[in-house]
Amino acid sequence: MAAKQHTLPQGFQTTGVTCGIKDSGLPDLSLFTSDTPATSVGVFTQNQVVGAPVIVSRGRVPSPSVRGIIINSGNANACTGEQGLTDAQRMTAILAEQFTCDESDVLVCSTGVIGHFLPMPVIENGIRDAFKQLGKSSEDLTKAAKSIMTTDTVEKISSKQIEIDGTLITVTGVAKGAAMIAPNMATMLSVIMTDCQLETSLADSMLKQAVNQSFNCISVEGHTSTSDTVLLMANGATGQGCASEQLQQALQSALNEVCSDLAQQIIRDAEGAEHFVRVEVSGLENEDDARRIAKVVCESPLVKTAVTGNDPNWGRIVSAAGYAGVPFQEQDLSLRLNDVVIYEWGSPTSFDESALSKSMATGEIKIQLEFRLGNEKMTYWTCDLTSEYIRLNADYTT
Amino acid sequence: MAAKQHTLPQGFQTTGVTCGIKDSGLPDLSLFTSDTPATSVGVFTQNQVVGAPVIVSRGRVPSPSVRGIIINSGNANACTGEQGLTDAQRMTAILAEQFTCDESDVLVCSTGVIGHFLPMPVIENGIRDAFKQLGKSSEDLTKAAKSIMTTDTVEKISSKQIEIDGTLITVTGVAKGAAMIAPNMATMLSVIMTDCQLETSLADSMLKQAVNQSFNCISVEGHTSTSDTVLLMANGATGQGCASEQLQQALQSALNEVCSDLAQQIIRDAEGAEHFVRVEVSGLENEDDARRIAKVVCESPLVKTAVTGNDPNWGRIVSAAGYAGVPFQEQDLSLRLNDVVIYEWGSPTSFDESALSKSMATGEIKIQLEFRLGNEKMTYWTCDLTSEYIRLNADYTT
């Protein structure tokens, strides 16, 4: 099968190399660069403990003039104190030298194990080496997407093209993340590039909206990481902006679509996952209530293991909803599992358990919690919890 | 080895029988009775979705005149609508007939699978049958403790005797719970009996204090169940009360000790658990902050699986503390694992990873998070997350 072709937005170059952080010899350093200064904004983890690169990059956005982003995998440069901060800044200085730009115009992310210092000599060489290999092809993008992977098994790329006022605009993103995934940006990183022209304040609000309905709606195990970062670069290479609200809405939709696609790719590649689970919560008074219930259902190990066993053990779903901290009466809740009503306004229905279990075995699970308390809703995505997840996580560092 | 002997407080009788709820033929119905009306108080699950027995029993305590408690295992009588309520009330009516007391003087608990109606004919016969077998021996208590078990592998009993003003007072409790254990009273049930004389209001505050430092400090996987209940019966059979604050404190200590012992027994018997984990959080501004951090660390699947693998992957512990919602700076946190300092005021230390991993392999883990923000602390207990847990929970109903 021929590799899928991806399109980089105009005026961007990317690459990925093996610099030698990972013992495995797999690629571990990526560059995402813009030929001209790009508007850049970011969304970061809400953990109190953050990696050094988060501190550095968070302090540099929003920015009208970012030239590049460095991401290394294999080491998160988190919980590394002053030395970690010095190292993260040094990484950006090395790339800035290549551009002859200010180091504040370079951003940095790191992902991997926590609490170890970066091997700076190999990283410095890696950045210089990668800079020489930058390119605009689909292959160059795939290399960049592969080099940010940790326990991911496939690279995650998503691209969408739209016409704005007769100009073709491209939005392209990559992401990584296989565990420590929780709403509020877990061990995931993502870079989104577009050749549309955007002011920083508009770019900021557009990225926040896109993240809120994509990366903030996924959960593997509810552990918010120290490194999560989504960065958007808009370099305006097409010369086209978003003058009207209608054009802005078109770009927002493209951005939402790319982020949502990447978020779902992360869940489909979650560590040990055998089932992809979509949780729809509707009929709540406000979106926050819907989000809290969706999150708790997605993070209940008892719900996840029932899914692992193709077991329509709906009591676990209803009882998870019950401890989300949202007041409700049982008679205001109905539950559908793969489109079968199994709990209707507070009472169990009779249904064909064996047929439902078979539909769960396809690996695609849809859980719909319908309340009759209002009109707000929320969709979340998660996966099941398997013995393979335990195996992968019981032996990650030693 | 001879079975351990347990002492019932004076004036109490217990037993357990097989009435036929469980397909396995294992014991599934217990009675705990007082020869005279007993002061009775309870603490119940905080889930919005509660089993019918919780609704019934919650409505009957505090009470000065409880005669008995029925507990069935194998079926939680939860999410069962009006029929469930009728069934729970009917159970209490059957036992009340035996006593010739009011049905409001009988309490009821159920534990097991959610969403199935109780098999009432076998339960009614079971209650009448059990009533005839009530006794005061250690064996009768063990039978009662065994008959409330679901996936527990051993019964949980704890007893403590103290002298108050020259009178011997006994506090004896039983508990069950192997999964769906979370603070705020998960799928656990416990009955505590004492022959001390207590007013309902004092009994209530004493039970709450005991539960708050025991059953509310354990977590297997953070799923709060629909059925959790702790009931205390004080029948005053010794004629001895707690007139002074000093005597009251002596009884409180005994009660705390029994509840804490039972709570730890639950964790040691948690589904699939291979490691017993004690998490001590200290140096916070208030107890609530300490509790939030302890809870999040105990419930992180990444912390749990690191423990499973005897892996001193301390970054997972620090990053879990970081998303508990308690603001702090990394330099105000130190971490000890089995008494080895591995993170000191925000920086990693160098330590012997292999020796530490060996100490973890003993199965006893102590995690100490020390902050320098105040003087409040909290201790929690949890277990690891193993493939055996997944196996047990992927196939529970089907």
- Which has the minimum average pLDDT: A176-185, A272-281, B79-88, B138-147? A176-185
A118 and A87 Cβ atoms separated by less than 8 Å: yes
User: Is A398 in contact with B357 (Cβ distance < 8 A)?
Assistant: yes
pLDDT at B179: 56
Residue B132 scores a pLDDT above 70: yes
The whole-angstrom separation of Cα B281 and Cα B289 is 9
A65 or B267: which leads in pLDDT: A65
User: Is A315 in contact with B115 (Cβ distance < 8 A)?
Assistant: yes
What distance in Å separates residue A84's CA from the closest CA in chain B? 10
Torsion of CA B302, B307, B309, B313, to 10 degrees: 60
Please tell me whether residue A344 adopts helix, strand or coil conformation: strand
Residues of chain A with pLDDT under 70: 1-3, 178-187, 220-225, 395-398
Residue B347 scores a pLDDT above 80: yes
Q: Between the CA of residue A110 and those of A70, A73, A188, B21, B70, what are the distances in Å?
A: 8, 6, 10, 55, 57
User: Is A184 in contact with B321 (Cβ distance < 8 A)?
Assistant: no
Residues from chain B contacting residue A221 (CB–CB below 8 Å)? 300-302
Active-site hit among A15, A80, A187, A229: A187
Residue of A nearest to B221 (CA): A301
User: Is A79 in contact with B318 (Cβ distance < 8 A)?
Assistant: yes
pLDDT at A2: 55
Mean pLDDT, residues B85-94 taken together:
98
pLDDT digits (tens, 9 = 90+) for A167-205: 999 999 999 986 544 433 336 888 999 999 999 999 999
pLDDT at A217: 80
Residues from chain B contacting residue A302 (CB–CB below 8 Å)? 179-180, 221, 223, 393
Mean pLDDT, residues B184-191 taken together:
64
A320 and A361 Cβ atoms separated by less than 8 Å: no
The whole-angstrom separation of Cα B254 and Cα B242 is 13
Mean pLDDT, residues B342-363 taken together:
92
CATH tag, A276-394: 3.10.20.340
> For strand A29-44 and strand A333-337, is the pairing parallel, antiparallel, or unpaired?
unpaired
Residue B343 scores a pLDDT above 90: yes
Nearest CB to A221 within list B301, B357, B398: B301
Sole residue written with tokens 């979370």: B182
Q: How many CB atoms lie within 10 A of CB B101?
A: 16
B4 and B107 Cβ atoms separated by less than 8 Å: no
pLDDT digits (tens, 9 = 90+) for B112-121: 888 889 999 9
Residue of A nearest to B320 (CA): A223
- Which neighbouring-strand residues pair with B63? B40
What distance in Å separates residue A219's CA from the closest CA in chain B? 12
Question: Is residue A187 marked as binding?
Answer: yes
Residue of B nearest to A75 (CA): B315
Mean pLDDT, residues B264-293 taken together:
90
Sheet holding B340-344, edge to edge: B218-219, B376-383, B276-284, B364-371, B333-337, B340-344, B347-348
User: Is B393 in contact with A312 (Cβ distance < 8 A)?
Assistant: no
User: What phi, psi does B138 have (nearest 5°)?
Assistant: -60, -35
pLDDT digits (tens, 9 = 90+) for B279-297: 999 999 999 999 999 998 9
Half-sphere exposure of A33 (CA within 13 A, CB side): 23
pLDDT at B225: 65
- Which neighbouring-strand residues pair with A189? A176, A229
Tokens of A54: 């988060």
- Domain B12-268: which CATH number of 3.40.50.720, 2.40.160.20, 3.30.430.20, 3.60.70.12: 3.60.70.12
B148 and B16 Cβ atoms separated by less than 8 Å: yes
**Is the four-CA dihedral B243, B244, B248, B250 of positive or negative sign?**
negative
Question: Is residue A271 marked as binding?
Answer: yes
Peptide bond into A37 cis (omega under 30): no
The whole-angstrom separation of Cα B321 and Cα B375 is 17
Pick the closest to residue B178 from B218, B213, B150 (CA basis): B150
Tally: H helices and E strands in chain B: 11, 15
Tokens of B84: 């469930």
User: Is A316 in contact with B80 (Cβ distance < 8 A)?
Assistant: no
User: Is A306 in contact with B393 (Cβ distance < 8 A)?
Assistant: yes
User: Is A79 in contact with B312 (Cβ distance < 8 A)?
Assistant: no
A337 and A365 Cβ atoms separated by less than 8 Å: yes
pLDDT digits (tens, 9 = 90+) for B323-338: 888 999 989 999 999 9
The whole-angstrom separation of Cα B344 and Cα A81 is 11
Residues from chain B contacting residue A81 (CB–CB below 8 Å)? 330, 346-348
Domain ranges of chain A: 12-268, 276-394
Question: Is residue A176 marked as binding?
Answer: yes
User: Is B48 in contact with A316 (Cβ distance < 8 A)?
Assistant: no
Sheet holding A276-284, edge to edge: A218-219, A376-383, A276-284, A364-371, A333-337, A340-344, A347-348
CB pairs under 8 A between A and B: 225
Tokens of A220: 């593997």
User: Catalytic positions of B, please?
Assistant: 187
A317 and A335 Cβ atoms separated by less than 8 Å: yes
Residue B181 scores a pLDDT above 60: no
Torsion region of B345: left, alpha or beta (phi above 0 gives left; psi -120 to 50 gives alpha):
left
pLDDT at A216: 81
pLDDT at B220: 64
B182 and B221 Cβ atoms separated by less than 8 Å: yes
Nearest CB to B308 within list A78, A323, A394: A394
Question: Is residue B271 marked as binding?
Answer: yes
**High-pLDDT (> 90) share of chain A, %:** 63
The whole-angstrom separation of Cα B88 and Cα B97 is 15
Q: How confident is the model at residue B2 (pLDDT cuts 50, 70, 90)?
A: low
pLDDT at B397: 52
Q: Which residues contact B15 (CB under 8 A, 6 or more apart)?
A: B30, B31, B130, B133, B134, B135, B140, B143, B144
User: What phi, psi does B184 have (nearest 5°)?
Assistant: 65, 35
In this structure, chain A runs to a length of 398
Q: Between the CA of residue B160 and those of B2, B93, B124, B280, what are the distances in Å?
A: 20, 32, 34, 25
Please tell me whether residue A176 adopts helix, strand or coil conformation: strand
Out of A126-135, B153-162, B194-203, give the one with best mean pLDDT.
Answer: A126-135
Residue of A nearest to B182 (CA): A323
From the number of C-beta atoms within 10 Å of its C-beta (0-12, 13-18, 19+), residue A100 rates as exposed
What distance in Å separates residue A361's CA from the closest CA in chain B? 13
Tokens of B88: 């729970």
What distance in Å separates residue B343's CA from the closest CA in chain A? 9
Return the residue in B297, B300, B319, B393 with the most chain A beta carbons within 10 A, the one to mutate for interface testing: B319
Residue of A nearest to B307 (CA): A394
Question: Helix, strand, coil proportions of chain A in percent (round to 5)?
Answer: 35, 30, 35
